[in-house]
Each structure stands twice: as C-alpha cells, then as structure tokens.
C-alpha cells in the first residue's frame, strides 16, 4: 500500500485510492485492443492455456497467475484503466499479494472482458428485487464446464459414480444461471437414468431418494439452501448413500441463520453426519467444495488470499496467515477471458489444514442470491 500511496501528493489523493474499492465511478477509457497472437503465445509459452488448468503445482500456479495478470493488465480495458488509476506498473509486480484485485461490484456496472470476443454465454447473478445483478460474459461455455467437471473430480471422483439430483427451484426459473448450467452438465455426464432436476415436487424427490438408498446407489443431492430446508422439513429421512450439498441462498425466503445452525438442522433431518457445500458465484468460473463443517478446500485453479477490512492493499496468503479474519480475494485462472483477480465482499479465515472458511459478508455489501451464510 505504501508503494502506491508514494505517488500521492496529499491526503486527499490517498483517500481517493482507498475509495476505489468502495465505489465504481472510474472514467473508463475503452481501448479497442487487437490481440497479437504471436505475442500471446510467447507470453504463455503454451498454446493450450485452458486445457491444462488443473495439472500444475503451487509453483506452476504462481507462474500462470503472474502471466495472466500481465496479459489482462494489457488486454482488459477496464482492468488496464483500474491499474492506471492506482499507478501500478504490471511489470513491477512479482508477488501474488501485490496484484491489485478488481472489486467484484464492477461485474454489475461494466462488461468485464479481456480481449475482443462475442460471448457464447452471459451468466447473471440471481440477486434480489432491489439489487443490480452481476453479469459474466463467457467466451467458451464448454471450457467452463470442463473446468467444473475437473474440479468436481478433484474432490469427489468421476461424475458417473453418482446419481445427481438438483433441487434448484429459483434458479431453474432463469435461463442464465451458471449453477443450473453446471448442474445440467453434471446430470448429463453422470449418465444415470434417475439423475435430474426437481422444482417443488418434494414427494417425488423423497420417493426417488428412498429408491436410490434401497439400491445402495451413491447419490448427490445438490440444492439451494431454502429449498433443502423446505424439503427436509416435510420429508425427514435417514440417508446413508447420499451426499447433501448446499449451495447457499436464502434470498429472503427464510430467516438467515448461521452455517453451523443450517448444517446441524440439515444433518439432523437428513440423518447424515456432515453437510457438504459448494463455494461458487456468477463472477467465478471455478468452484471450491467443502466435505463438512464449512471447510472449503482450495481447488487447483483457484487461490484464496485475505485483505484487511481497513486497507484493500494489505493482503496476505495462507502461508503468511495472521490468524485473523479478512475479506476474501480470489485468483481464478479459469477467468482468462474476464478477470482472474477479484476482490469479493465475503469475509473469511484460513484454517490449519490449508482450507478456508467463509464467515460472513462485508457490511453494506449486497446480499447475493448465492451468498453463503455467516457464522
């Protein structure tokens, strides 16, 4: 932070830099850039950047992240101007902690795109009736789905091991949900004849789960929080071969409760030991998974950092954990065509096992439709 403020001549300029992370009133100079394919190939030293996101270690992640930062600093007009406002020279950045993270609110007010392309998809957040929704313009939908499948495999194995049931009523009503897109792909890849979506046909879902349990079929029930609660309140059961995975999301349907309270309620009613969870959002093309207790394992295409509440440039990694909560910054290598460096509004902590936990939301930030519950 001191290095950036060194360019400021007075306290008023210093305050302006701080406020960049709370507001969006940047004057965007839209520069229509032509991607030099030869230079881009040399930059990444690999023409198959998207195809091997999940096959490198920490040193490989660092190399890719720095390369992607310098690429997006040049080819993303919004991010380029953002860095200019902060007086940051991309070539001077050599640590992940020193990369400026774009506030997630820009997905609501601007087209966050790297390079010129016609998007195949535009994922949109569900939000609420009083919020402006985020939009994520996706150049290659299949690349998103391939990455989602690879990350699921990292945590749970092959999709065709499972019968996948998706309880996502509010999301199915929309045609631009990244969660529905992913769930639909998982259902098809599972190749199980009983896999499918459910709206509010709870009795049918109850009977289907009992049938699958009777046949000892490994099953994944992935659902939005309020729908899982509605369902299990009407049909409590004791499951042995089924994973219950919540994706967050009360959307004002029910009183907000802590994650611990939610998981205790669901675990008791479903008769399972642990409730699993997915950490994802419209602005990310990667997902993190928890196998219980809200401990999210960081997947190979993501890196989680924390920033201080009172200083957006005071950032630390799990290796330098201070044992305190911070606001979550995310590097998502799958966001090659949008922005890979996002300053979220989620509060979090690092855990001793290398995982992270989401502990709440920054005050006065919008409540996303998929927001995870505070503890």
Instruction: Please give the average per-residue pLDDT across 227-250, as a whole number.
Output: 94
Nearest Cα to Cα of residue 171 among 96, 253, 294, 98: 253
128 or 15: whose pLDDT is higher? 128
Ranking 27-31, 48-52, 221-225, 256-260 by mean pLDDT, the lowest is 27-31
Instruction: Please give the average per-residue pLDDT across 344-361, as a whole number.
Output: 94
Domains (ranges, CATH) in the chain?
2-117+299-350 (no CATH), 141-298 (3.40.50.12780)
- Residue 12 predicted with pLDDT over 70: no
For residue 43, the model assigns a pLDDT of 40
Find the helix or strand (DSSP H, E) in which 229 lies: helix 225-234
- Residue 23 predicted with pLDDT over 70: no
* 100 exposure class (CB count in 10 Å sphere: 0-12, 13-18, 19+): buried
Sign for the CA dihedral angle at 64, 66, 69, 71 comes to negative
pTM for the structure as a whole:
0.83
DSSP letter at 33 equals: P
- Residue 368 predicted with pLDDT over 80: no
For residue 146, the model assigns a pLDDT of 97
- Residue 32 predicted with pLDDT over 50: no
Q: Which two tokens stand for residue 315?
A: 């950032």
pLDDT tens sequence across 145-204: 999 999 999 999 999 999 999 999 877 777 799 999 999 999 999 999 999 999 989 999
For residue 109, the model assigns a pLDDT of 95
127 or 78: whose pLDDT is higher? 78
Is the Cβ–Cβ distance between 7 and 17 less than 8 Å? no
- Residue 28 predicted with pLDDT over 70: no
For residue 274, the model assigns a pLDDT of 97
pLDDT tens sequence across 101-130: 999 999 999 999 999 999 999 999 976 555
Is the Cβ–Cβ distance between 237 and 271 less than 8 Å? yes
Nearest Cα to Cα of residue 349 among 314, 322, 331, 313: 322
For residue 173, the model assigns a pLDDT of 73
Instruction: Please give the average per-residue pLDDT across 132-150, as a whole number.
Output: 96
For residue 369, the model assigns a pLDDT of 44
Contacts of 55 (CB under 8 A, 6+ apart): 300
Nearest Cα to Cα of residue 144 among 290, 355, 332, 289: 332
- Output the CA–CA distances (angstroms, integers) from residue 74 to 3, 82, 308, in the order listed: 21, 11, 27
Cα separation, 18 vs 311, in Å, equals 7
Average pLDDT, rounded, for the chain: 84
pLDDT tens sequence across 280-338: 999 999 999 999 999 999 999 999 999 999 999 999 999 988 889 999 999 999 999 99
Find the helix or strand (DSSP H, E) in which 242 lies: strand 242-246
Ranking 56-60, 101-105, 206-210 by mean pLDDT, the lowest is 56-60
């Amino acid at each position: 932070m001191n290095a950036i403020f060194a360019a400021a001549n007075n306290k008023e300029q210093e305050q302006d830099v701080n406020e960049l992370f709370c507001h969006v009133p940047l004057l965007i100079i839209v520069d229509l850039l032509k991607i030099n394919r030869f230079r881009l190939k040399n930059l990444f030293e690999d023409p198959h950047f998207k195809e091997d996101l999940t096959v490198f270690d920490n040193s490989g992640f660092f190399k890719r992240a720095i390369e992607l930062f310098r690429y997006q600093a040049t080819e993303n007009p919004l991010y380029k101007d953002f860095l200019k406002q902060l007086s940051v020279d991309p070539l001077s950045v050599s640590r992940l902690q020193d990369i400026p993270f774009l506030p997630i609110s820009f997905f609501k007010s601007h087209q966050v795109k790297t390079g010129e392309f016609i998007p195949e998809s535009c994922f949109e957040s569900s939000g609420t009736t009083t919020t402006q929704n985020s939009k994520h313009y996706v150049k290659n939908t299949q690349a998103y789905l391939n990455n989602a499948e690879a990350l699921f495999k990292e945590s749970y194995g092959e999709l065709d091991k499972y019968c996948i049931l998706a309880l996502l009523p509010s999301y199915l009503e929309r045609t631009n949900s990244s969660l529905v897109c992913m769930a639909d792909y998982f259902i098809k890849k599972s190749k199980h004849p009983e896999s499918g979506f459910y709206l509010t046909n709870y009795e049918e879902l109850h009977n289907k789960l009992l049938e699958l349990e009777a046949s000892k079929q490994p099953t994944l029930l992935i659902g939005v929080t309020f729908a899982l609660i509605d369902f299990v309140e009407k049909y409590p059961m004791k499951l042995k071969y089924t994973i219950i995975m919540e994706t967050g999301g009360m959307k004002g349907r029910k009183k907000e409760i802590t994650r611990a309270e939610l998981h205790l309620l669901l675990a008791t009613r479903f008769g399972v030991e642990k409730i699993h969870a997915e950490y994802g959002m419209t602005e990310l093309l990667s997902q993190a998974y928890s196998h219980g207790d809200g401990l999210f394992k960081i997947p190979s295409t993501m890196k989680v950092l924390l920033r201080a509440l009172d200083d957006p440039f005071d950032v630390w990694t799990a290796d330098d954990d201070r044992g305190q909560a911070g606001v979550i910054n995310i590097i998502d290598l799958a966001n090659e065509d949008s922005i890979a460096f996002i300053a979220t509004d989620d509060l979090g902590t690092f855990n001793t096992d290398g995982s992270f936990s989401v502990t709440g939301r920054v005050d006065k930030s919008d409540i996303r439709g998929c927001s995870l519950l505070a503890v």
